[in-house]
Chain A
């Protein structure tokens, strides 16, 4: 349970002239839930996008299961068992719920188990089963988030990258989704979670990093950070030197 699954070392990412990530090093151990906290534009989503290969690192390395993945393309990274549920959910709006889920299994080689996994997803969120043949664009925000999450799970990921699963969703559904996430945690799925909602994130996570303008400014176990709210708030805002790179 304790070996390192994902490790970022001195990662640098830039969009044009803007440096979105500066010298970011972090690690996630197998079975752990790690939260990435920070204000808008701090570089949280960029970190996830770098791990899943959507953006390329300018310097530094990303290793997953002791393999350097920073040169791999997103498809290869998905094939290694890393699933990314992106910012804004990005479900395929013109395709049905079922088709979206089947696409989540694109890199699976064990075709025979896919049906069983579909059933498991519908058990997890029965509402999706009711909406099976509806197009994803007609779902509510919460339902789309459930779909984005289950679509990612259809890859049977060892590592799940989740970007703001609570954004713009009714509190009741947020609770339902996080309940599911803590079930997943119990089954040993490793999760790297980006969240703006600090409370909710620290309740689920084992550890957390706080990013500000592309740099890690604070890290610690969830319990420490829960007990030390002021330091977290200070790390978010960076005292008096508040400048926002607006990159992520």
Chain B
């Protein structure tokens, strides 16, 4: 395998990984920008989406429709938790909102255990999802899951970009993130904006959950937690509260993880990937809290 082929293979891995992180991180960032809520329960929307898809498949729904319904279920759960848990603590100190989301995570994951037990379940896929493609006599390979992860993330992000520029609710979303008081004054329906934000964030996470489960081959109640932590890192190193920041952060983190994995194994760093990533997060918080894109500190009235 020559260097070019090797690099191409790593780039494919990094882009696939980065897409997933970006897809989850974008939702975290949107919600943080509106509510200053560090939403730990966001990762569980991945679990909801994946289990939703699984249940639909077991009920005999064809795969693609099952995925769609799984995503719809994530969005619905997003709406429900916003209404019953986050709305009552809206405007409370940051820590109160953060703790509420920690409690929600705990509830959702244990609901998952209650309904599906904590042992991983097989996530059935149609054959075309498992197909793999080889280039350069098999020295570069990727699966249709890799392709789909990138393609669907791209579609989702393009839709988001269109949405926040061209719809009244989307404009309201950006406005409320910039200046909540002024948003009320111009008559933006902030509640609608927040609900729509939860719908989008949760359905993106649901989609990410399906892709994650497809890649892993299994679903389990705690599956959302590790990607959630990674998405936090991505969102914060990109610039917490910024949509472009979350996307950039996602791909940077994907590239970084692939890079760490590809370091010579005698250095022994591969196993410490998570520690390295979180050290990076702490470094960003300390030295560049605005992240790569440089989010401005919020000015409060």
Asked whether the complex places CB atoms of A and B closer than 8 A, the reply is: yes
Interface residues of A, Cβ cutoff 8 Å to B: 52-54, 73-75, 78-79, 83-84, 86, 90-95, 99, 102-104, 106-107, 151-152, 155
With A54-B181, A106-B168 known to touch, is A92 a contact of B187 (CB < 8 Å)? no
A90 vs B178: C-alpha distance when bound (angstroms):
10
Q: A53-B184, A86-B181 are in contact. List 19 more A-B contacts (CB 8 A).
A: A52-B185, A54-B181, A74-B187, A75-B187, A75-B190, A78-B185, A90-B179, A90-B182, A92-B174, A94-B178, A95-B174, A99-B174, A103-B168, A103-B171, A103-B172, A103-B175, A103-B188, A106-B189, A152-B186
A83 vs B188: C-alpha distance when bound (angstroms):
12
Contacts of B168 in A (CB 8 A): 102-103, 106
With A102-B171, A106-B168 known to touch, is A92 a contact of B178 (CB < 8 Å)? yes
Q: In residues 162-199 of chain B, which contact A (Cβ within 8 Å)?
A: 165, 168, 171-172, 174-175, 178-179, 181-190
Are B185's CB and A106's CB within 8 A?
no
Contact of A74 among B171, B175, B179, B185 (CB under 8 A): B185
Contacts of B189 in A (CB 8 A): 75, 106
- Per-position 1/0 for B113-135, Cβ under 8 A of A: 00000000000000000000000
Minimum C-beta distance from A191 to chain B (A): 16
20 contacts between A and B (CB under 8 A): A73-B184, A75-B188, A78-B184, A79-B187, A83-B186, A86-B181, A86-B182, A90-B182, A92-B178, A93-B179, A94-B174, A94-B178, A102-B168, A102-B171, A103-B186, A104-B187, A106-B186, A106-B187, A151-B186, A152-B186
Contacts of B172 in A (CB 8 A): 103, 106
Contacts of A74 in B (CB 8 A): 184-185, 187
A106 vs B172: C-alpha distance when bound (angstroms):
8
Contacts of B190 in A (CB 8 A): 75
With A102-B168, A103-B171, A103-B172 known to touch, is A93 a contact of B186 (CB < 8 Å)? no
A106 vs B167: C-alpha distance when bound (angstroms):
11
A164 vs B274: C-alpha distance when bound (angstroms):
53
A73 vs B183: C-alpha distance when bound (angstroms):
12
Q: In residues 190-242 of chain B, which contact A (Cβ within 8 Å)?
A: 190
Contacts of B175 in A (CB 8 A): 92, 95, 99, 103
Closest to A88 in B: B301
Contact of B178 among A54, A95, A106, A152 (CB under 8 A): A95
Minimum C-beta distance from A91 to chain B (A): 8
Minimum C-beta distance from B262 to chain A (A): 38
Closest to B191 in A: A75
Minimum C-beta distance from A202 to chain B (A): 26
A74 vs B188: C-alpha distance when bound (angstroms):
9
Are A75's CB and B184's CB within 8 A?
yes
Are A155's CB and B187's CB within 8 A?
yes
Minimum C-beta distance from A246 to chain B (A): 15
Contacts of B184 in A (CB 8 A): 53-54, 73-75, 78
